[in-house]
Chains A and B, each alone.
Chain A
Amino acid sequence: MNIHGSVVSAREIVLSTEGVAAGYGGDDIISNISVAVGKGSIFTVIGPNGSGKSTFIKVLAGLLPARTGEIRLGAMSIARLSAPQRVAAGLAYVPQEFNIFTNLTVGENLRVSTEFLERERRASAEQRERVLAIFPEVAGRLGLRAGYLSGGQRQMLAFACAMMAAPTVLLLDEPSAGLSPKFVAEIFDKVKSVNAMGVTVVMIEQNVKEALRIADIVLVLVNGATRLLATPDDILTKHDLHKLYLG
């Protein structure tokens, strides 16, 4: 059963994919993924383990090449751009793990996040202030070596680093993974704060309840293919997630 939903967004499309396929080694892990993410929205990707969620977001970030298909940021094709070029184009990515430089200080992590970008994307003093205001737990530890931070603090720092480049689209790979409930709530608050600043968020989330609560549009990936693309309301009222996950 394939329930290819389609959601026509009233918003301007800021990030889109058409028929994207990618994988490691011989087989494709994801295939034929076509989505359109509206400007200023929160787009969450959910699905069972091994469904290709992280692969999809790595393809968007440019860390894994798309074998076929097109990826656009606004009107610009970015499928052939390297990861650093995509950051320069306005796409920031926060990996799930190993997402900070542990041997650099917190302050150095923030600085190095934009120092090698084109001049217009380098963090201005105002952007730095804005980011530090959203992440006060980071602002208070600038001189500390990042490897000494707790799991939740590391996630906040990774998030803050990505925001330094003032991205148009923020890609988050399971920001709440492995965190205590207190930090999970804080992370989702930060996602909302960042989104309120006008940043479009594409986020993988295992916590389906939270994902549906926060999202404007949800992509359900199963076995590397689009199972459903719908609004959270539609999913809650018209579909059974267990059935979607199990096929």
Chain B
Amino acid sequence: MTAQVILNGLVTGMVVALPAVALTLIYGILKFPNFAIGAMLTVGAYLALALNVYLSLPVLYAAAIGAAAFAVVAVGIDQAVFRPLRERSAITLLVASMGVSFVLENIVRFIFGNGARSFELPLARPKLVFGLRINNEQIFTAVAVIAAMTAVYVVLRHTPLGRAMRAVSDNPALAAARGIDRERIVRWTWVIAGLLTAAAGVLVGMDRAIDPLLGWNYIVTVFAASILGGLGNPVGAVLGALTVGVVEETSTLLIAPNYRQVVSFCAIALLLLLRPQGLLGVQRIKK
């Protein structure tokens, strides 16, 4: 039973890792907590849903095309809303992102209605492996998330774009003096964030019903994961997400599942009291 709960928690954590990394990347480059991260998940799920249900594309293709389309939408949102506010304070940008969140959610409600939908997926029995029940969606999630995280890691560590993203995150003025065009890096950051959040939206949608509050339900968990890992630190965000996933899921052994987000709130509160820089925060050198 405990092993099953931990496995479920790890898979939940994997799903959370995608938006947590997106949140932390945007924070690293643009220095504001993007409250619209939940709504981005929702829109990503609905884009794939539209392609899956109305165009009858298999979920995998629908997810890929939807994520690519949403990456473009994410860049568009940045250009329309965040770019004019680029030099404003983090609070201004946070409030703007709340506005974006409400607008996205209501666009979804306007187009798709308030009811719950679901992807057209073939039904399959869960497999039993060493006594653990593993369903197809969990396997798909694990493969997709590991592939996405590996890709993000390789981009950040081993490509010119990744080095430039880390340089801009580290010292934007110096990056400009070294010939790095910050706006170009910002656009790529939104592309990556768009791909990750849309993919996460699809994974959440495969696990449960798709409704306009799909992403909203994950906001606290995603923020907890990012803060736990030290905002701005992608590896930390993944570890934070896995931790939050396992702890939230394990907590359901003791408390009612509806209250599981309380655990995330407590994690944020405890961390801000005891270790405000996050689990991996010490690794960043400020000066």
Contacts and interface: CB of A to CB of B under 8 A. Distances in A.
B81 to A, nearest CB: 23
B120 to A, nearest CB: 44
Nearest to A99: B174
Given A98-B171, A98-B287, A145-B285, A104 B163 contact: yes
B284 interface: yes
B164 A104 contact: no
Instruction: Please report whether the interface of chain A is mostly helix, strand, loop or mixed according to DSSP.
Output: loop
Contacts of A87: 177-179
B167 A112 contact: yes
Given A84-B176, A87-B178, A114-B178, 9 more contacts: A83-B177, A101-B166, A101-B175, A102-B170, A103-B285, A108-B163, A108-B166, A115-B163, A148-B285
A88 B179 CA distance: 7
Given A84-B179, A87-B179, A112-B167, A101 B174 contact: yes
Interface in A87-133: 87-88, 93, 95, 98-104, 108, 111-117, 121
A115 B185 CA distance: 13
A88 B177 CA distance: 10
Contacts of A147: 285, 287
A114 B179 CA distance: 7
A14 B77 CA distance: 43
Contacts of B285: 102-103, 145, 147-148
Contact of B179 (A63, A111, A117): A117
Contacts of A108: 163, 166
Interface string B253-285: 000000000000000000000000000000011
Given A111-B163, A112-B163, A115-B164, A103 B176 contact: no
B167 A84 contact: no
Contact of A93 (B169, B177, B180): B177
The winner among B171, B175, B178, B286 for most chain A CB atoms within 10 A is B178
Interface in B170-203: 170-171, 173-181, 184
Contacts of A115: 160, 163-164
A66 interface: no
Contacts of B180: 84, 112, 116
B163 A83 contact: no
Contact of A95 (B167, B174, B287): B174
B261 to A, nearest CB: 32
> Interface of chain B, helix or strand or loop or mixed?
helix
Contacts of A116: 160, 164, 178-181, 184
Which one of B169, B174, B180 has the highest number of Cβ atoms from chain A below 10 Å of its Cβ?
B174
A112 to B, nearest CB: 4
Contacts of A95: 173-174, 177
Contacts of B169: 103
12 contacts: A63-B177, A82-B181, A88-B179, A93-B177, A101-B170, A102-B285, A104-B166, A104-B170, A111-B160, A112-B164, A113-B178, A116-B179
Task: Name the residue among B174, B175, B179, B284 with the largest chain A CB count within 10 angstroms.
Answer: B179
Contacts of B171: 98, 101-102
A87 B181 CA distance: 11
A161 interface: yes
A112 B286 CA distance: 19
B286 A63 contact: no
A165 interface: yes
A71 interface: no
Contacts of B160: 111-112, 115-116
A61 interface: yes
Interchain residue pairs A-B with the least CB separation, the first 8:
A147-B285, A87-B179, A115-B160, A83-B176, A102-B285, A112-B163, A101-B170, A117-B179
Given A104-B167, A112-B164, A98 B179 contact: no
Contacts of A121: 179
Nearest to B165: A112
Contact of B178 (A62, A103, A112): A112
Nearest to A148: B285
Contacts of A83: 176-177, 179
Contacts of A103: 166, 169-170, 284-285
B173 A98 contact: yes
Most chain A Cβ neighbours within 10 Å, of B160, B167, B175 = B167
B181 A84 contact: yes
A98 B176 CA distance: 13
A95 B163 CA distance: 20
Interface string B93-124: 00000000000000000000000000000000
Contacts of B175: 101, 112
Contacts of A148: 285
B234 to A, nearest CB: 12
**Residue among B167, B177, B181, B284 with the most chain A CB within 10 A?**
B177
